Structure 1
C-alpha cells in the first residue's frame, strides 16, 4: 500500500484502521445516533429545524479528523514513535494540540451535546487519546510476537548484506525474518549466482529472495534467465535496492543516475508546486513578520552585529544564489574564509543564535528566497559552492540534487539532523535522491506536516 508515493508498512495500516474504528465509536457515543431517527420529536424541540438533529455529527467528524491529522504530524504512525518515551512525548504533545485546536472550541460552544460541560469533555478527550495511544504498543507487540513475517534469503556482497541486516535489526517491529544469507560477489560470478538463486527459489520455507544487484543488471538477468517467479501475487526474486527503498525510504547512490534518469515527472504538477509554494511563502511571510521583527531586535541587542547572514548556495541547475538567514553565529565565525561544518555545541553560535537555530527561526528569511524563485518550500537543502565540489568528488550522484530547486524543508531534513561530516552528508544524499525519485505533491504535503514535529521538538538542530 502506497500513500503520498511512500510505501506504508503493515503496522501503520493497522494503526490507521484501529484509529478509525475507535474514532467511529467515539463519534457514535458523542453524538448519540438515536436522536436523528426521532424526527418528529426533534422537530418540536429544536424550533422546527429538521437539520438540527444531525448537526452534532459535523463537529464530531471535524474533531476526529483533527485527531488523525495531529497523530500523523507527531509521527504516531511511524514505527520509531509507537513505543517507548517517544510515544509518550509525541502523544502528550498531540493531545494538547488537538485540545487547543478542536476540543476546547467544540466543548466551549457545546456543539456536540449541550449536557456535556467543558470539564467533562476534557475527561472524554483524555480517555480517548489514552485509548488511541495504548493501541500503538499493543499493535507493535502483536507484530513483534505473533504476526507472520516475510521469510527472506539474502544474496550479495558482505557490505550490502551487513547494511540490510542492520536495517532489519533497527526496524521495530520488522516485517522480515532472515532464513538464509549467502555471500557472493554477484557482479563477477554470474554462474555461481544463478545456481544459488535457482536452489533458493525451490525452497518452500523462503517467501522471497533479495539479491544485491543494480537495477539494470537485475533486469538483464531476469530477461535472459526468467528467474522471477511468483508465489501467490509476490515476486520471489527482487533487487535489494528496491526493498531498501521500500522499507528504509532512501535510495542507493551507486545507481542514482540510472534511477533518476528513468523518472518522468508531470510538468503540470511541477508548475502547481511552484505557484502554490510561492503563494504559501507570501502568506507565511506576512504571518511571521511580527516574529521576524522580534528576532531582528534581539539579534541587534545581543551583540550589535548585522541581523541577516548572506551566504552563497548552489541551486537548481548549479545556479549560485544568495540565501538569507538570521545571523546565529559570531560575526567573525569564519574569519579565515574557510567553510566549516556546524557541530553539536558549536562555540561560534551566539546566545540568541542557539535559540533560533533550535526552533529553526533562523531559516524564516528564506521565505524571501522562495518568493524570488531561488528555492522551493520542499526540496533538498542547498549547500555552499566551496563544499559542493568537495562533496561531489566523494559522493556519487550528489549532483542529482541540483535537478530540482533546493528547499526550506525536505525529506532528508525530517529524517536526519544537520550534516556535520561527509558520512552524514552521504546519508542525507540518499534521502534526497529518494525524494527526487518519488516526488509528488502529496509527498510534499506529508513533509510539511512532519516538519511541524521537527520544529516543536527541535529535532536535529545544532
Structure 2
C-alpha cells in the first residue's frame, strides 16, 4: 500500500485508477479527432484543448471513485463493475452538462461527449478484462513474514485469504510463546539466522503477532532486519493499515500514545474543514429545502405528530446538542422516553420513514447543525447520551471518538452497515477511531464521494 495524506491506498487500486484516468483522457481526445474528421474540421492537437479533455477525464474519474468502482465487489466482478461504470458515467455527464452551462468552453461538445462516453465504457471494461486475464494480481501484493503462531497470527492468516487482501504471508515463525495454532509455523530454534531467513524469503515486511512479548521478542534480530531495509511492524499498526480501522482487540493505551496520528498541528485543515462545512451546508439547505418540505408534508399526511423532531446527541468533547431530523417513526415510538436501538424491519418506522431512511433524506435537516458549528459534514455519527453512557462502560477508547466533531456521514457509515447493537457499535467505533486518528481533508473528500455510493446502493440502512 501507498500512504497518501495519512490514508492507505492499495497499489492495485492506485494503478488501476491512474490507468483509468489516462484511458478517459484518451477516449475524449479520440472522440474529438473523430468528430472533427466527420465535419471536415482541423482537429489540431491535444494542447489546443486541455480544458475539455481533462475536465471530462477528471469528472469521470471522480464519479468512478464516488460510486465504488474501486471497491472490493467491483474489482472482483465484471458484471458489478460494468453496472457501476455506467452509473458513474451517467452522473459525470450530468455534472459536465451543468459545468458547460456555468463555464462555457470548458467541456466537450455534446456530440463529442456522446462518443467519449461510449468509448469510455468500452475502454474501461476492456482493460478490466485484459488485466483479469493476463495479470496475476498477486504481483501487487506485499510478501510478509509473521513472527508468532498463536491466535493473533491466525487472525492475520485468515485476513490474507480474503480476496481483497493486499498481502501474502510467506511464512510463520513460532517464537516459543505457547501452543502453536498455525501448524505450518517454523520453530525459532530451527532457524540459525533469522535476518538471513527473512532475506531468503524475499519478504518486504515482518509483522509481530506475539501473544506474549516477554522472553519472545528478538530485539537484536529485529534491529538487524530493520537495517537491511525490511519494514518491521506491530500487529495493531499492521491491521490499521490493512483494514482501515483501529483493531480494539489488539491495541492498548501505549499504542495510541506512541503511534502517529491525532495531530494537533492541523490548524490549516481545521480552517478548511469549517469553511467547507459552511459553504456546503448553505448550498444544501437552499437546494434541498423544497425536497425536505415535500416529505415533511407527506409525513404529516401519513401519521399523527410533527414532521420534524429534535433529539439530544453527544458532540465534540462530550458536549450535548440537539439535532433536527425528519420524523421517520411513529410519534409514540418511545413513549416511555427510554432510548431504543432501531432494528431491521422495525415496526415503529412508517412507510414514508422507511424510504427517507434508505435514501438519507431524513438526515438533510442536520445541515443546520453543520452551519451552526455543532456538527461537520464528515465525522463519527452522534449518538444519544443514554447510548454513550452505556457504551463507554462496555468498550475501551469510546470517549476518544468525541475528539472530533460528529458528522452527517463518516468513515464508519460508508464502511459498515447501520449499527443497532453493542457489537455493531464496537465495529463502528474501530472505524471512527481510524478517522479521528488519521483525519485529513483528503479523507473527508474521499468519504463524501463514497457517500454517493451509499445513497445509490443503501445497503444496511434502517
- Give the shorter-chain TM-score range: 0.7 to 0.9
| Residue 19 of structure 2 is aligned to residue 25 of structure 1 | no
Measure how far apart 1:225 and its partner are: 6.4
User: 2:183 corresponds to which residue?
Assistant: none
Alignment partners' CA distance in 1, 2:376 and 2:253: 23
> 1:75 is matched with which residue?
68
Q: In the alignment, which residue of structure 2 is the partner of 1:381?
A: 381
Separation (CA, whole Å) in 1 of partners of 2:228 and 2:331: 64
- Aligned-pair CA distance for 1:287: 1.5
Distance 1:79 1:140, change over 3 A: farther
How many angstroms does 1:353 deviate by? 0.1
Structure 2 match to 1:38: none
Equivalent residue number for residue 397 of structure 2: 397
Aligned to 2:315: 315
Larger CA deviation: 195-204 vs 432-441:
195-204
Q: Which runs of 5+ in 1 are unaligned?
A: 36-40
Q: Closer, same or farther in 2 for the Cα pair 1:112/1:9, shift >3 Å?
A: closer
Would you say 1:234 and 2:230 are equivalent positions?
A: yes
- Structure 1 residues 317 and 196: CA distance shift in structure 2, 3 A: farther
Return the alpha-carbon distance in structure 2 between the equivalents of residues 442 and 142 of structure 1. 33
Q: Is the 8 A contact 2:360 2:455 kept in 1?
A: yes
Is residue 278–residue 371 contact of structure 1 (8 Å, CA) maintained in 2? yes
Aligned length: 439
C-alpha distance after superposition, 1:258-306 (max 9, x if no partner): 4544532312322331232123212211121111111111111111321
**Which one of the candidate residues 234, 242, 248 is aligned to 2:243?**
248
Match of 1:202 in 2: 196
Secondary structure of 2:201's counterpart equals coil
SS in structure 1 of the partner of residue 346 of structure 2: coil
Q: Is 2:335 the partner of 1:340? A: no
Compared with structure 1, are the counterparts of its residues 195 and 244 closer, same or farther at alpha carbon in structure 2 (3 Å cutoff)? farther
Instruction: Label 1:53 to 1:75 Cα distance change in 2 as closer, same or farther (>3 A).
Output: closer
Range with greater deviation from structure 2 (239-248 or 298-307): 239-248
CA drift at 1:150: 2.9
Could you say which residue in structure 2 is the equivalent of 1:176? 167
Distance 1:377 1:411 in 2: 11
User: TM (normalized to structure 2)?
Assistant: 0.83
Q: SS at 2:309's partner residue?
A: strand
Structure 2 unaligned residues grouped into runs of 5+? 181-185
1:71-100 CA-partner distances (Å, limit 9, x unpaired): 111122233322324323312211221233
Cα RMSD for the two superposed structures: 3.7
- What is the distance in 2 between the residues matched to 1:193 and 1:426? 35
1:194-236, Cα deviation, whole Å (9 max, x unpaired): 869985433212513211269xx79x9687765352486432x
- In the alignment, the residues of structure 2 paired with residue 248 and residue 53 of structure 1 have an alpha-carbon distance, to the nearest angstrom, of 41
Task: Determine the C-alpha separation between the residues in 1 that align with 2:176 and 2:273.
Answer: 43
Q: Is 1:95 matched up with 2:102?
A: no
The 2-side partners of 1:389 and 1:352 are apart by: 31
Report what 2:432 is aligned to. Answer: 432
**What residue number does 1:291 align with?**
291
Structure 2 CA distance for aligned equivalents of residues 140 and 359 of structure 1: 34
Counterpart secondary structure, 1:296: helix
SS at match of 2:161: helix
Query: For residues 439 and 195 of structure 1, do their structure 2 counterparts lie closer, same or farther at Cα, with a shift above 3 Å needed?
Result: farther
Cα distance, 1:105–1:200 mapped onto 2, change above 3 Å: same
Secondary structure in structure 2 of the residue aligned to 1:247: helix
Change in 2 beyond 3 A, CA 1:278/1:2:
same
Matched residues in 1 for 2:356 and 2:100: separation?
34
Tell me by how many angstroms 1:166 deviates.
2.8
CA-CA distance at 1:182 after TM superposition: 4.6
Counterpart-to-counterpart distance in 1, 2:108 and 2:355: 43
3-state SS, counterpart of residue 435 of structure 2: helix
- Sort the Cα spacing of 1:124 and 1:403 in 2 relative to 1 into closer, same or farther, 3 A: closer
Query: Are 2:356 and 1:356 equivalent residues in the alignment?
Result: yes
Q: In structure 1, which of residues 127, 133, 147 is the aligned counterpart of residue 125 of structure 2? A: 133
Q: Deviations over 1:366-388 (max 9, x none)?
A: 11111222211111111111111
